[in-house]
A and B are shown apart, each in its own frame.
Chain A
């Protein structure tokens, strides 16, 4: 067992403009625009979303806040998930907010609400099923994906339906028919922008690899584990479980390739850096870990541990690479008022 390598260093803590980060999974979303050297990060805080953006060449961070209000009742709503998606049809990302009522889509620059979808409207339920709606409304929208290349955005719901939002232009968004292939709550949905692979996972352990464009099922993987989050990298689905295990499945064969007993608590986030093949897992056990995934011959298949850090007594809920190279990291924790930022300090050779 080797000692942790000093690969990243803690550079700064960025204060949220108000309050602290929320406890719901997926309280941190990141979207980077390499062509503009700009990174966006969204953090949920109760009924507000705070969106930060910064130039990757400087450390100056600008915050903007969105108070999420139900348009019909004008009441603030509890947010259960946040996503930043960047469809081709747009120059800047969209802020997609999952709430206990449904979803709202905002323009990050103008703060304009572009669309509101109420769950009770899109999940067709007959009047005598009223109770079901109320149950699912609250747990809805745990998950959403950030497909960079397509103009679609997928949102997972409590009942297993996946809602599809289509972006047809700068301000035009529409819904498509729900995907109804899952029967349990969606734990997470993820897309790999290089290989154009989209996968979704339920908390009961089923992973679906979707055809492209996302319409029909290409294959199903039964992990037999309670999953909490997934991501896709180098044709592998990487799934985090409620028990702290990181599972690597081949998208092509559906086989389990590797499992890392990484954490002592639920894994709250799996983030990937496509350019460097880094994988990061973060957990409520206050730690986050970075690995390099080797899938290409002649190197043997390997999940190489690169870095581990304990954010002492932080219940980490969100952890994301803030660029495609995986050289910078943002960490958000429940009840904490800052985002912890890390940067790479040296390149570690793969054979170390």
Chain B
């Protein structure tokens, strides 16, 4: 079943990425932002890329997935620095998780996916090339998933939810709309709204007794909610209405994309071993920092720096809070066949040894590339500064104290270390 996890995950998160980028690009002139969105969209739905995604087995680590979307986002002239990319990934992760938790039944993963495809198409309206690619993606999704039973959908949903487990970044918009709690969990069944029953579901409360195949008596049991019947609607493209609006652009009227507190969903995960880069390689070819990509830290003329933050202060506090949370997490092995000594050693390891180890591993290239991203200058507007977008000098925003020279993996930022999220045990 894991064969079928990545395609839906990829399309849904890509949809969220397009919505977020569209929101951030709103203040930039139409022609430039339209070009950026289209270039990214062409890369996201590129037929070869999609084929690789559909062929891939299992789910990549969140770090690799973030890198995949980073590559896609950078297929245009737009550039994001590491903090912005982290925040973008946090937003994509949380909104996708939100949608997966809110659906009435697992089959609606399909509806949410089609909503995303429709939303992607709407970011570049009236474009024949885009329309064809979206329709092609829809056909691929439809032919892979159409025959699944409710139970198979349920297993897909479980697999995706398990991927998003323990991601609790707080999205200001969802908090404000009473969709998310201060703990980072979502409100699943708000008191003010009736619960939509699943397809073919009958209102909760009736107990029917059968005798010889027919209902003999009926009783009622107390219920917790008010209920609403499900209205089946087709999951087609360009239809007026689908059975849920989850997956549609929820930032349409949003003025800001703030996160409260820490983020860093891609970094909190334990690094997985294995041939993580295979998928990326097959999609983008050689991953070694080439002459063109290796110098991305240096700004080329015509590149468009985009920031996910409203100002440098917001970027600063995001970095600080995230590092504070990630820095507090210790690696605790769950097996008990570890002596206290080895556990103590692990606690002392911190970042440097894991970074050293990685320079020899298959992940070295990937981490180098992440560092390149880190070396890119912060792109948030400095507070009160009114520099026009795209022409701001690097000196105005030094929130991320980093040199733009070729990074050294041994000096990797603390957040890039190998850690496993652990609850309860914090470093003093």
Contacts and interface: CB of A to CB of B under 8 A. Distances in A.
Interface of A: 1-4, 15-20, 22-25, 46, 48, 50, 64-67, 75, 78, 100, 111, 134-135, 138-139, 158, 184-185, 187, 203-204, 226, 228, 242-245, 255-266, 285-287, 289, 301-303, 305, 308, 310, 312-315, 334-337
Given A23-B162, A66-B334, A264-B201, A259 B2 contact: no
A228 B166 contact: no
B198 A242 contact: yes
B207 A242 contact: no
A23 B222 contact: no
A255 B210 contact: yes
Interface string B119-135: 00000000000000000
Nearest to B196: A264
A277 B106 CA distance: 32
B189 interface: yes
A187 B150 CA distance: 12
27 contacts: A1-B220, A3-B222, A18-B334, A18-B423, A19-B421, A20-B165, A20-B423, A75-B274, A111-B336, A138-B1, A185-B151, A203-B151, A228-B151, A242-B154, A242-B198, A243-B199, A243-B201, A259-B210, A261-B203, A261-B205, A266-B105, A266-B106, A285-B189, A285-B225, A308-B224, A310-B224, A315-B188
A287 B208 contact: no
B17 to A, nearest CB: 23
Contacts, number: 178
Contact of A66 (B152, B206, B210, B335): B335
B422 interface: yes
Nearest to B197: A264
Contacts of B334: 17-18, 48, 50, 65-67
A334 B1 contact: no
Nearest to A227: B151
B188 A226 contact: no
Given A23-B161, A46-B162, A301-B209, 7 more contacts: A20-B166, A25-B158, A66-B334, A187-B151, A258-B209, A335-B166, A335-B185
A1 B149 contact: no
A69 B111 CA distance: 36
Contacts of A2: 222
Contacts of B198: 242-244, 264-266
B165 A22 contact: yes
Interface residues of B, number: 63
Nearest to A111: B336
A254 B181 CA distance: 46
B186 interface: yes
A258 B1 contact: no
B188 A313 contact: yes
B89 to A, nearest CB: 19
A24 B162 contact: yes
Contacts of A158: 1
Contacts of B186: 313
Contact of A65 (B197, B200, B335): B335
Nearest to A47: B334
Contact of B423 (A1, A255, A337): A337
Contacts of B208: 258-259
Interface in B316-355: 332-337
Contacts of B286: none
B337 A111 contact: yes
B140 interface: no
B173 interface: no
A124 to B, nearest CB: 20
Interface in B168-215: 181, 185-189, 195, 197-210, 212-213
Given A204-B149, A264-B225, A286-B189, A257 B203 contact: no
B227 interface: yes
Nearest to A2: B222
B387 to A, nearest CB: 42
B209 A335 contact: no
A18 B422 contact: yes
A287 B221 CA distance: 13
B411 interface: no
A308 B162 contact: no
B162 A22 contact: yes
A262 B209 CA distance: 14
A289 B204 CA distance: 12
B233 interface: no
B155 interface: yes
Contacts of B227: 264
A339 to B, nearest CB: 14
A336 B101 CA distance: 14
B171 to A, nearest CB: 16
B61 to A, nearest CB: 12
Contact of A286 (B151, B188, B200, B272): B188
Contacts of A313: 181, 185-189
A67 B333 contact: yes
B158 A135 contact: no
B158 A256 contact: no
Contacts of A67: 333-335
Contact of B204 (A4, A262, A336): A262
Contact of B424 (A18, A75, A259, A261): A18
Given A228-B151, A313-B187, A244 B222 contact: no
Nearest to B338: A67
B406 interface: no
A75 B332 contact: no
Of B195, B201, B202, most buried by chain A (CB within 10 Å of CB) is: B201
Given A1-B205, A2-B222, A67-B335, A242 B105 contact: yes
A177 B300 CA distance: 66
Contacts of B210: 255-259
Given A23-B161, A228-B151, A260 B423 contact: no
B273 interface: yes
A18 B422 CA distance: 6
B1 A15 contact: no
Contacts of B195: 264, 285
B12 to A, nearest CB: 16
Contacts of A4: 222
A138 B159 CA distance: 10
Nearest to B181: A313
B51 interface: no
